[in-house]
Amino acid sequence: MVNRSKDWLNQARRDLEKAKLDLAHFYYEWACFTAQQSSEKAVKALYLSLNRHARGHAVLKLLEGLSGTMHIPDDLYHAARLLDRYYIESRYPNGFPQGSPADYFDAIIAQEAYDAARAILGFCEDSIGEL
């Protein structure tokens, strides 16, 4: 089986770049979703680099699945909890009592999501580089 961890890591980097563009152009809900996607793909790249299979979209659960293999810093668990909230609610109006997702996201929230994703991506890059 071909190890595609580099492909997943490259897409995670690209997703983080897109999150930065969304943030700069005031698409805050999309910045949050794309940051979550970046993290999910980065962690899945780490799984692949360890010759392990990863399923699901919850970054927190994916990180927890690695805890027996490596030390995951506590701040990354917090970052994952933050980002996992944006997998659905940043895209669908029924995540809120009224209005659309754009009404519920702002620059501070989007920057926080971007920073969380950058931390997770950095951890994954460092871990893959050490393997």
Domain at 5-130, CATH from 3.30.70.60, 1.10.10.10, 1.20.120.330, 1.20.1730.10: 1.20.120.330
Write down the mean pLDDT value for the chain.
96
Q: Which residues of the chain have pLDDT under 50?
A: none
Q: pTM of the predicted model, to two decimals?
A: 0.95
State residue 1's pLDDT score. 64
Assess contact for 114 and 16: CB atoms under 8 A. yes
Tens of pLDDT, residue by residue over 33-50, are 999 999 999 999 999 999
State residue 130's pLDDT score. 74
CA torsion sign for 120, 123, 126, 128 is negative
Q: Which token pair is 124?
A: 């994954």
Query: What are the sequence ranges of the domains in the chain?
Result: 5-130
3-state secondary structure of 72: coil
- The count of other CB atoms within 10 Å of the CB of residue 26 is 13
What's at 86, amino acid-wise? Answer: Y
Q: How many residues does the chain have?
A: 131
